[in-house]
Amino acid sequence: MGRTLMTSEQTPVSIPAAPKVGMVSLGCPKALVDSERILTRLRADGYQMSADYDGADVVLVNTCGFLDSAKEESLAAIGEAIAENGRVIVTGCMGNEAELIRARFPDVLAVTGAHQYEDVVDAVHAAAPPGLGPYVDLIPQSAPGDVKLTPRHYSYLKISEGCNHACTFCIIPQLRGKLASRRIDAVLREAEKLVAAGTRELLVISQDTSAYGVDVGHEERLWKGHPVRTHMTDLARELGGLRTPDGQVPWVRLHYVYPYPHVEAVIPLMAEGLLTPYLDIPFQHASPSVLRAMKRPANEAKVLERLRSWREICPDLAIRSSFVVGFPGETEDDFRYLLDWLEEAQLDRVGAFRFEPVAGAVANDLPGAVPEEVKEERYARLMEKTEAISRARLEAKVGRTLRVIIDEVGEPDEEGDIGATGRSQADAPEIDGAVYLRDVPATLAPGDFVDVVVEDADAHDLYGVIAGS
């Protein structure tokens, strides 16, 4: 329904209802941040958000193009949006394959590439003009400010775009370009605003967090009256100084950290409780020959020694990683080397995927393709190994009291008992395990920090009760 604005001459001016935008966001947390930025800008321009196809004047599909399977999922999402709505704009990592998209779906209104925010907004303006909404609503923001696709209590903080590495299985540099670091004062300002608005956990993301600032020579900027370098260690130190409105230290979780020597400088901040004792390190493999074929950075580093050193400084440090099985040329000896390495590394959380050729990736032309049945068999063995390690590490936490952030509070059961789901500092949202609580008070809310006595564990999750209950 439209509205009527009375001018100074009392002449009625008809103002149409604000157009509505639907969003389908696929892929990694970095793409999720892109979606949040796009929607934030559109809300500032007077658009409303639609939760379904029927109510949308235009639908945005933020695609993922990392693997062929992800591309197929993206194409399927585009096809569904075309069928259900018909007015579709495509953006994201598959935007560089506009010809393919238009050949399959000639009716798409526009195709833009990854993090081309202005182009996406311009395309929405052309498809569904914003009208006079901004003149009435100014900036129609919902508290705490920006449009968020994540719960209010945690937020992703993107510090850079792109990547300078040339890993043979990856086409991220083709999709997102070379490393482009954000100004550190802008990153810190965003973090400060997020925490002031209710964020209790910041998840720092990029393609290579350890390389932050390399492209700008680690330039200095003034922040709060003192110089800070555009460098991961300076960023971590400043983020460790943030406080929530009630004076608590928010969790700051570092993702996509390559194990370069300077990473050791952030471990004492974790030991002091200023940073979450958690590192997401994309090892991908352990066999030297496979790492060379992958052209992985820092593949000559004495990683196991570093892990031991870091855990000596911060015993509660949790490390997660992901690995590729069945990479071209991977032998049984290479795979056994990886299993032995995992046994020694004792990583807390591990994800894995079978090698999949990606159009444009150098690895596609490497000799020694691994048969699919061998990939499956190795994948199963890897998951069996990492599950056993995870189970043992979690069972060792039974009886301990851990700090937990609450994600969800359930409804009372027939006896009036209420359960809740949270995460320990060793658990990032969506990708790691959970902590399941029993008999929580009705006043508990998402975003609350509580101390939990761990009563039980399985291969992935913990179970407990709030201390003192």
Own/partner long-range contacts of 306-310 (Cβ < 8 Å, ≥24 apart): 306/259, 306/263, 306/264, 307/345, 309/264, 310/263, 310/264, 310/267, 310/279
Residue 196's pLDDT band (boundaries 50, 70, 90)? Answer: very high
Which domains does the chain show, CATH number per domain? 15-137 (3.40.50.12160), 154-395 (3.80.30.20), 401-466 (2.40.50.140)
Residue 364's pLDDT band (boundaries 50, 70, 90)? Answer: confident
pTM: 0.80
- Range name among 310-319, 361-370, 437-446 with the lowest pLDDT average: 361-370
125/121 Cα distance (integer angstroms): 6
**pLDDT mean across residues, the chain:** 88
Q: How far is CA 67 from CA 159, 171, 225, 258, in A?
A: 24, 9, 45, 22
CA angle 279, 285, 286 (to 5 degrees): 95
pLDDT per residue as tens digits for the range 273-314:
999 999 999 999 999 999 999 998 655 558 899 999 999 999
The pLDDT, as a whole number, for residue 411 is 93
The pLDDT, as a whole number, for residue 383 is 96
CA angle 247, 252, 257 (to 5 degrees): 165
Residue 132's pLDDT band (boundaries 50, 70, 90)? Answer: very low
Kindly state the percentage of the chain with pLDDT values over 90.
Answer: 65
pLDDT per residue as tens digits for the range 333-344:
999 999 999 999
Residue 144's pLDDT band (boundaries 50, 70, 90)? Answer: very low
pLDDT per residue as tens digits for the range 100-125:
999 999 999 999 987 777 788 889 98
The pLDDT, as a whole number, for residue 93 is 87
Is 31's pLDDT higher than 70? yes
The pLDDT, as a whole number, for residue 372 is 94
Which uninterrupted H or E stretch holds 202?
strand 201-205
Give the mean model confidence (pLDDT) for residues 345-366. 90
Residue 3's pLDDT band (boundaries 50, 70, 90)? Answer: very low
357/372 Cα distance (integer angstroms): 12
Report the Cα–Cα distance between both ends of the chain, in Å, rounded: 51
The pLDDT, as a whole number, for residue 145 is 47
Binding residues for [4Fe-4S] cluster: 28, 64, 93, 163, 167, 170
Within 8 A by CB and 6+ apart from 378, the residues are 325, 326, 330, 335, 370
Within 8 A by CB and 6+ apart from 450, the residues are 403, 404, 406, 422, 437, 444, 466, 467
Task: Write out the two tokens for 274.
Answer: 């200023």
Is 433's pLDDT higher than 90? yes
Cβ atoms of residues 106 and 100 within 8 Å? no
Is 465's pLDDT higher than 90? yes
pLDDT per residue as tens digits for the range 38-91:
887 787 677 888 888 888 999 999 998 878 888 899 999 999 999 999 999 999
Residue 423's beta-bridge partner residues?
Answer: 405
Residue 421's beta-bridge partner residues?
Answer: 408, 436
pLDDT per residue as tens digits for the range 205-246:
998 999 999 999 999 999 999 999 999 999 999 999 999 999
Q: Which residues of 417-432 are buried (b: 16+ CB within 10 A; e: fewer)?
A: ebebbbbbbbbbbeeb
Within 8 A by CB and 6+ apart from 327, the residues are 169, 285, 290, 293, 294, 355, 363, 370
Is 139's pLDDT higher than 50? no
Cβ atoms of residues 313 and 351 within 8 Å? no
Binding residues: 28, 64, 93, 163, 167, 170
Give the mean model confidence (pLDDT) for residues 264-279. 95
